[in-house]
Structures are given as C-alpha cells and as structure tokens.
Amino acid sequence: MELDEAIEGSRLALSRALTLVENGLSFSTEEDGMVIGVTGAPGVGKSCLVDRIATSLAKDGIKVAILAVDPSSPVSGGALLGDRIRMQSADVDDLIYMRSLATRGESGAVPSVIGNMTNLLKECGWKHIIVETVGSGQAEFKIAAVADTILLVEAPGRGDSIQAEKAGIIELVDLIAVNKSDLPQAEAAASDIEQALSAGSKDIPVMLVSAQTGDGVSELVQKILETEGQSMTRPKWREKLNSEWMRQLNSHPDLESMLDGLEEGSLNLDEAINNLRR
Ligand SMILES: Nc1nc2c(ncn2[C@@H]2O[C@H](COP(=O)(O)OP(=O)(O)OP(=O)(O)O)[C@@H](O)[C@H]2O)c(=O)[nH]1
Ligand SMILES: [Mg+2]
C-alpha cells in the first residue's frame, strides 16, 4: 500500500500518493503541521526566496516540503527550483521535498486539492510545508488561504500592496518580504508599503530580503517561525471554512449522482443541495 510506504519515508510512494490526491482523492489527517503560503505577483522572486527559506530551515535540521502551484514558466518556476535544490549537499537534500502542481491556479478545486496534499504531507512526517502560488488575483490568492502563515512577496517597482489592500488580501497576510534588496529601489519600495499599511489596523512586519545574495533571509525565517502556533484570525477562518466546505462538497460520495440528476432534469438545484447536505 502506497500510503504505508510513503509514511515510512519512500519519496516515490509519497509522490505517487500525492498524484492520487492531486487527481481528486480526499485526505484528512489528525497530524499538526505548519503550512506557509508564499504568494506575490509573477517575477517578484517567490521561487528563489522559497528555495532560500527551505535551505535555511533544512540547515537547522527542519524537514520542509514545497508545493509549487502553477509555476508560470518552466525557467522561473518549479524546474529551476528543483535543479537548485538538487545542487545542495546531500544532507540538506534529504530534508527537502519539492513538488510542482500541473493544475492551473484559477481552478476552483485547487484550494481543496492543496489542503488534501498538505494533509498527506503532514501524515508522512513533513510538518513544515511551503506552498508557492502566483497571487496576482483574488481567486489565485485563495490557494494561499489554506496556509497557517501567509508571506506576501513584493519587489521594487510595483504598486501591488495597494492593490492587495483593495482586494482584501492584506487582512490575510502575516508578513511582507520586499525581495531584491540588492537593487537600489528596494528600500524606497519597502517604505512605500509601510506607508500604505500604516493606515490599516494590522501590524504587518515588512522585511527587506535578497533571494539573490541571501541578505535578510535568516531574519525572515526567524519571523516566519515565530508565527508558528499563532491563533487564527477571523478572515483566515473564513477562508479555511470556505475551502473545507468545498473540499467536502467535492469529495461527497453522491456528488456525481446529483450532477447526473441535474443534467437529466430529475432534480433541481435546491433538491441536489439538500441531498448533499444529508
Ligand atoms: N536582483 C535580484 N533578482 C532576483 C532576486 N530574486 C529573484 N530574482 C530574479 O527574479 C526573477 C524571477 O524570480 P523567480 O524566483 O522565478 O520569481 P517568481 O516570483 O517565482 O516568478 P513566477 O513563479 O514566475 O511568478 C529571476 O530572474 C530571478 O533571478 C533578488 O533577490 N535580486
Ligand atoms: Mg515561481
């Protein structure tokens, strides 16, 4: 049985089991863990930063799994990250598990698929899980809401934090990393963001980092770990509730037969919903 082997540590079995879950198998767990959502506009350096964060955790002996959702290009996305991680020392390598999802981020089922996948990873002993998503719109951002801690990555030359504020994303964010601090405009970008945030009620740390040089990475990792076990806010519970509800709906044993009934016209929507509630 795949799951037993995966729990025993076989990466091949784990990746096969994850494929089953990615294709729709539902998976719950009682195991605790920490899911770190890393989101931000395309090209801000999420993958490079995730690579740094994972390496830093692994060097401290912490096992970390990475799920990359819809890497937007093979070069800047998961492929490169995978290659980088393979260049690490074997010890660090053993503590990192990397997986890309082929599924497009806009698909409504993705948050529940990710939830199932993180559950499976926790069950198999991967307690720290980083989920990288491209968060350029609200739908895609919902994926990050399966996370316990959300890191928004920004980079110089973008006005995204204001946009994020508008989209209600900011209320879910725990930390903001302004990446590419090796570039001259980074500090100005960070103060712009701090300025924009000062109007809000939430105190969100804004940290300068460079995934290229590694500057600020250990401080960022420290901050991320400090959020472990923090109590969940109402906006996050709302997203979790939403995504768990969707997960249950999509894994309901009668879903297909309800869809059949709707298609044939033997059921209306209310009846189908009432049947699924039972
Ligand atoms: N100067 C500088 N460039 C960086 C830094 N981090 C990443 N980059 C560059 O930014 C580009 C995008 O990096 P990625 O890590 O692929 O960005 P991403 O946000 O994951 O991109 P998508 O997954 O495509 O949304 C690459 O060319 C990186 O080399 C940094 O700290 N400084
Ligand atoms: Mg990426």
- For residues 93 and 54, give the distance between their C-alpha atoms in angstroms, rounded to a whole number: 10
Domain 28-230 fold is Rossmann fold (3.40.50)
How does 78-114 read in b/e, with b if 16+ C-beta sit within 10 Å? bebbbebbeebeeebeebbbbbbbebebeeeebbbbb
Collapsed DSSP state (helix, strand, coil) of residue 184: coil
pLDDT at 166 (0 to 100): 54
pLDDT at 109 (0 to 100): 65
Q: Which residue has the tokens 């110089």?
A: 156
pLDDT at 71 (0 to 100): 55
pLDDT at 258 (0 to 100): 96
Task: Tell me how far the alpha carbon of residue 87 lies from the centroid of ligand 2, in angstroms.
Answer: 18
CB 251 within 8 A of CB 26: yes
- For residues 246 and 231, give the distance between their C-alpha atoms in angstroms, rounded to a whole number: 23
What is the atom index within ligand 1 of the atom nearest the CA of 181?
Answer: 31
Structure tokens at 136: 């350029």
Q: In the chain, where does the domain assigned CATH 3.40.50.300 lie?
A: 28-230
Strands 175-178, 206-208: pairing kind: parallel
Residue nearest to atom 30 of ligand 1 (CA): 180
**Which protein residues are within 6 Å of ligand 1, measured from CB?**
40, 42-48, 71-73, 76-77, 134, 179-180, 182-183, 210-212
CB 186 within 8 A of CB 208: yes
Q: Report CA 167 to chain centroid distance, whole Å.
A: 18
pLDDT at 164 (0 to 100): 55
Task: Tell me how far the alpha carbon of residue 234 lies from the centroid of ligand 1, in angstroms.
Answer: 32
Per residue of the chain (278 residues), what is the pLDDT tens digit? 678 999 999 999 999 999 999 888 889 999 999 999 998 888 899 999 999 999 999 999 999 999 988 655 444 444 444 555 555 666 788 899 999 887 654 556 677 788 899 999 999 999 999 999 876 566 556 666 678 999 999 999 765 555 555 556 788 889 999 999 999 999 999 998 898 888 777 789 999 999 999 999 999 999 999 998 888 888 888 888 887 787 788 879 999 999 999 999 999 999 999 999 98
User: Hey, which of 47, 83, 207 would you mutate to test ligand 1's pocket, going by the most ligand atoms within 8 Å of its Cβ?
Assistant: 47
Residue nearest to atom 2 of ligand 1 (CA): 180
Please report how many Cα atoms fall inside a 13 Å half-sphere around the Cα of residue 245, on the Cβ side: 8
pLDDT at 143 (0 to 100): 64
pLDDT at 2 (0 to 100): 77
